[in-house]
């Protein structure tokens, strides 16, 4: 049986990480095109198909730069998904308004929407224009708290799981004082665990250290909690996979995001790897 051509369509908000994502796809062997009008996607893929296997992984960026042609994208995506020759996935990237404004300020690039007066108005208008496309996405990635290295690791890990019968998991540890991660599917509060911050010899360390892990594991409630969490996910993950979910973000939060959440996140990561799941971990607030 002829192998399906993998088609990844990358879209989303300007400044949310599309350039880094398409660069990552190129690094792992995808033939990539930026800013391809939706009406040209099918002819382009047909052309790649004629290479007789030389091009079997394609990455395409489509966004508001397509102007009035952007409205054609949902229909194009639907047709690709119905075509047995292709495996089509959509990655949608987004970020908070504050982060997008900072990124535009840092890069000094113009926003592609010109008819609005302020950058806030342009971002809001772009969200409206992309609303229907966002609904088609297989993967929605909120990049506000990602550095470039983290985003690349997430994309690679995510795509490696597309054809797997395992779920791709992302762990985020955070401090409630800095806000709950927007991308989290499941948020777990670990502030009930005694806080090592109040012990002089431990306060300057973080949850990645053996001393912090040993401290929080010295409490019976921590051990019972870990046992219950592991049993919960032994139940949940096969059912998520059965329902077709291929990606899940679990967030662990404590007060400052430096000690308890980090240690629990790393212990949970070890558990998932023992179960042979693809997993990445980000300690969002550990350096704050």
Cα 270 to Cα 15, 149, 171, 203, 275: the distances in Å are: 33, 21, 11, 24, 9
pLDDT at position 124 over 50: yes
Reference 159, options 87, 103, 106; nearest CA is 87
Q: Which CATH class is domain 5-160?
A: alpha beta
pLDDT band at 163 (very low <50, low <70, confident <90, very high): very low
Q: What pLDDT is attached to residue 219? A: 96
Joined together, the tokens standing for residue 58 give 């394609």
pLDDT in tens, 34-85: 999 999 999 999 999 888 778 889 999 999 999 989 999 999 999 999 998 8
By mean pLDDT, which of 30-44, 140-154, 194-208 is the weakest? 140-154
Confidence of residue 246 (pLDDT cuts 50, 70, 90): low
Domain boundary assignment for the chain:
5-160, 168-283
Is the pLDDT score of 276 beyond 80?
Answer: no
């Amino acid at each position: 049986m002829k192998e399906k051509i993998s088609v990844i369509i990358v879209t989303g908000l300007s400044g949310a990480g599309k350039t880094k994502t398409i660069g990552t796809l190129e690094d792992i062997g995808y033939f990539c095109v930026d800013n391809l009008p939706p009406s040209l996607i099918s002819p382009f893929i047909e052309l790649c198909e004629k290479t007789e296997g030389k091009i079997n992984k394609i990455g395409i960026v489509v966004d508001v730069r397509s102007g009035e042609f952007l409205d054609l994208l949902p229909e194009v995506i639907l047709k690709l998904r119905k075509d047995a020759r292709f495996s089509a996935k959509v990655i949608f990237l987004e970020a908070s308004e504050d982060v997008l404004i900072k990124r535009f300020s840092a890069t000094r690039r113009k926003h592609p929407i010109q008819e609005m007066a302020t950058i806030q108005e342009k971002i809001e208008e772009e969200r409206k224009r992309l609303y229907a496309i966002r609904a088609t996405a297989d993967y929605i990635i909120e990049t506000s708290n990602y550095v470039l290295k983290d985003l690349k690791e997430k994309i690679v890990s995510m795509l490696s799981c597309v054809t797997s019968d395992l779920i791709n998991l992302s762990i985020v540890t955070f401090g409630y004082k800095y806000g709950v991660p927007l991308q989290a599917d499941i948020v777990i509060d670990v502030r009930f665990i005694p806080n090592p911050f109040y012990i002089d010899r431990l306060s300057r360390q973080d949850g990645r250290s053996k001393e912090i892990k040993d401290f929080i594991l010295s409490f019976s409630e921590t051990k019972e909690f870990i046992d219950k969490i592991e049993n919960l996910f032994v139940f949940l993950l096969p059912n998520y996979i059965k329902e077709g979910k291929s990606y899940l973000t679990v967030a662990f939060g404590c007060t400052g995001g430096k000690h308890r959440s980090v240690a629990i996140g790393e212990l949970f990561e070890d558990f998932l790897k023992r179960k042979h799941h693809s997993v990445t971990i980000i300690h969002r607030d550990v350096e704050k």
